[in-house]
């Protein structure tokens, strides 16, 4: 079964087998050993194409099994000891570490080694890892460029490139770094790009840096299945009591999103003072603290995690039952990504959004994307804000 840095939760699979995708016996055995019985739709679609060396654009959300979709062909096609041959660019440190955990398992039979180059941790262990001539690099863009500038790594022999969660990388402002890295890579290579959405910038990158990519789209149409959306429109001063009431109402594992780091800290302290088992995650915390928070949340010793969007992107924890948007997200994409932390794979989940009247324009945009109106709900003791078009006049109420 799965261990270590690989999260586990139910995921939709196909009826097929890994063997018929063209994978070799040792890889199929490694897959079986960790408990994957059938490929997920993205794995079934990507693996045979990737094994032939073609460029691939995979439209898929986190939680669809895309890490294995690109890791298995890489492990299959690389041979050990010929310099850094594969590069996987990840948007966040957490995603990079999960990817390394996969590659360590699947590369073991082929004697492949992977180095992880992520920011906000010491350079020295990474320099030591690079001295051992790894075959694969998993890196966040900023730290990779630091190493390139210091000449501690060479990208000259890269044959396979993966841009993982490309839309997240853009959201995080990594476009200049991505371009810089892409220009430094050999032109003769295979590129696989994964993204939950295809904004124009991603299309441009695909046009400029990929060769006749095969496009695979397994994103759910409209609302992601398994998620119930709920909206709590309240007065600004009622946001905090509404959150506390929601935490009493739904007792499962809960991820609370705030927009700003200082609000994540503020809520964390409030919840802690009230005796809630809470932990927090934002980009001002050290890598060690973030790993610790995630572990506590994952293991269930702390049922509530308060996070900002950037930190929240890397959270792949099975069994999150409830996502609460304490602040409405700034973009529809963020709403979808936040919500995607729950109901992962085949599970069910709730996304509750606490909003004030000022957020209603964003609510409308979210509803247009979801293709459904989010049910308005009320929570214990908090008077809901009545939206204008529905507010009956006093006279009419008296009649």
Which residue's CB is nearer to ligand AMP, number 10 or number 252? 10
58 near ligand AMP (CB under 6 A) = no
305 near ligand AMP (CB under 6 A) = no
Count Cα neighbours of 220 within 13 Å in the Cβ-side half-sphere: 21
Which residue's CB is nearer to ligand AMP, number 271 or number 305? 305
Which residue's CB is nearer to ligand AMP, number 63 or number 382? 63
Query: Out of 6, 121, 127, 185, which residue is the one contacting ligand AMP (CB under 6 A)?
Result: 6
**At closest approach, how far in Å is the CB of 141 from ligand AMP?**
20
Which residue's CB is nearer to ligand AMP, number 224 or number 233? 224
Site for ligand AMP in 314-373 (CB under 6 A): 316
Q: How many residues bind ligand AMP (CB under 6 A)?
A: 19
Window of 61-69, 268-276, 307-315, 388-396 that interacts with ligand AMP by CB under 6 A: 61-69
Residues 6+ apart with CB under 8 A from 366: 332, 335, 374
Site for ligand AMP in 148-177 (CB under 6 A): none
The 10 Å CB-count burial string (b at 16+, else e) for 88-120 is bbbbbbbbbbbbbbbbbbbbeebebbbbbbbbe
Query: Out of 5, 8, 179, 384, which residue is the one contacting ligand AMP (CB under 6 A)?
Result: 8
Which residue's CB is nearer to ligand AMP, number 142 or number 319? 319
Q: Which two tokens stand for residue 251?
A: 């007792």
Binding mask 15-54 for ligand AMP (x = CB under 6 A): ---------------------x--xx--x-----------
**At closest approach, how far in Å is the CB of 12 from ligand AMP?**
9
Which residue's CB is nearer to ligand AMP, number 64 or number 258? 64
Which residue's CB is nearer to ligand AMP, number 36 or number 232? 36
**At closest approach, how far in Å is the CB of 138 from ligand AMP?**
13
**At closest approach, how far in Å is the CB of 368 from ligand AMP?**
27
Cα 10 off chain centre by? 16
Query: Out of 62, 177, 190, 353, which residue is the one contacting ligand AMP (CB under 6 A)?
Result: 62
Query: Out of 30, 47, 57, 63, which residue is the one contacting ligand AMP (CB under 6 A)?
Result: 63
Query: Out of 9, 77, 296, 376, which residue is the one contacting ligand AMP (CB under 6 A)?
Result: 9
Binding site for ligand AMP (CB under 6 A): 2, 6-9, 11, 13, 36, 39-40, 43, 62-68, 316
């Amino acid at each position: 079964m799965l261990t270590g840095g690989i999260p586990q939760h139910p995921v939709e699979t196909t009826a097929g087998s890994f063997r018929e995708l063209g994978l070799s016996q040792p890889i199929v055995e490694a897959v079986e050993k960790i408990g994957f019985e059938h490929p997920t739709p993205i794995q079934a679609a990507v693996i045979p194409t990737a094994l032939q060396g073609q460029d691939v654009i995979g439209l898929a959300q986190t939680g669809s099994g895309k890490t294995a979709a690109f890791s298995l062909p890489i492990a299959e096609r690389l041979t050990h000891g010929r310099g850094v041959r594969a590069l996987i660019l990840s948007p966040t440190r957490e995603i990079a570490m999960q990817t390394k955990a996969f590659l360590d398992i699947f590369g073991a039979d082929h004697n492949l080694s992977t180095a992880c180059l992520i920011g906000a941790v010491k350079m020295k262990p990474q320099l030591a890892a690079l001295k051992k001539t790894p075959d694969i690099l998993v890196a966040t863009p900023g730290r990779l460029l630091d190493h390139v500038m210091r000449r501690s790594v060479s990208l000259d022999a890269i044959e396979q490139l993966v841009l993982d969660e490309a839309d997240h990388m853009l959201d995080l402002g990594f476009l200049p770094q991505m371009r810089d890295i892409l220009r430094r890579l050999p032109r003769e290579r295979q590129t696989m790009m994964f993204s939950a959405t295809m904004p124009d910038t991603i299309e441009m990158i695909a046009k400029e840096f990929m060769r006749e990519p095969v496009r695979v789209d397994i994103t759910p149409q409209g609302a992601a299945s398994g998620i119930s959306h709920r909206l709590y429109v309240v007065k600004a001063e009622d946001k905090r009591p509404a959150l506390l009431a929601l935490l009493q109402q739904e007792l499962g594992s809960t991820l609370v999103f705030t927009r700003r780091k200082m609000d994540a800290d503020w809520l964390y302290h409030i919840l802690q003072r009230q005796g809630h088992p809470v932990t927090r995650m934002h980009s001002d915390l050290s890598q060690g603290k973030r790993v610790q928070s995630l572990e506590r949340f994952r293991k269930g010793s702390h049922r509530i995690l308060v996070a900002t969007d950037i930190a929240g992107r890397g959270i792949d924890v099975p069994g999150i039952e409830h996502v609460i948007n304490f602040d409405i997200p700034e973009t529809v994409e963020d709403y979808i990504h936040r919500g995607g932390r729950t109901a992962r794979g085949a599970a069910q989940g709730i996304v509750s959004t606490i909003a004030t009247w000022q957020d209603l324009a964003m609510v409308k945009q979210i509803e247009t994307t979801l293709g459904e109106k989010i049910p308005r709900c009320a929570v214990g003791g908090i008077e809901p804000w009545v939206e204008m078009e529905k507010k009956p006049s006093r006279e009419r109420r008296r009649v």
